[in-house]
Amino acid sequence: MTSSGLEGKESPLAARLLATTTALSELEKSVKSGDLDSRVLGELRNAIDHIRYTALAVQDWYSAQERSGDPYAVLSTLASQRVRRAAQLAKDLTLDLENVDISVETQGLDDLYQAVDGLHRYLGRLFKRGT
């Protein structure tokens, strides 16, 4: 298997990845010529960063398997990326709250509160700062 795991294979996943690559190239042209809200562009950038880091982790996974290494070492990289993304998302949500883009009526806000509260308590124990 090659480092990408796709070369020489006609799998449905390979076809979807090629189609997505084409669509992203077309989207890039539209973004360059369009008038976009900076927040929308930031969301796009964050989503693309997430895809790029995930693709890198998958490539590292395949490379580790080819070298008879431990592919599970990649999981710590994925966890680090989730932490980075969660921190960025928390900052973005804080800005949305400050700009009144989110209110008590926003769907899912209670679930978000419960999740953040649980995360906060666990991080407090992790850093031994109490709960």
Q: Which two tokens stand for residue 21?
A: 């690559």
Q: Are 78 and 57 in contact (CB under 8 A)?
A: yes
- Tell me the pTM: 0.62
Q: What is the pLDDT of residue 62?
A: 85
Where do the domains of the chain lie? 1-35, 37-126
Per-residue model confidence (pLDDT) at position 5: 47
pLDDT at 2 over 60: no
More confident residue, 74 or 117: 117
Res 129: pLDDT? 67
Enter the tokens of residue 65.
């398997």
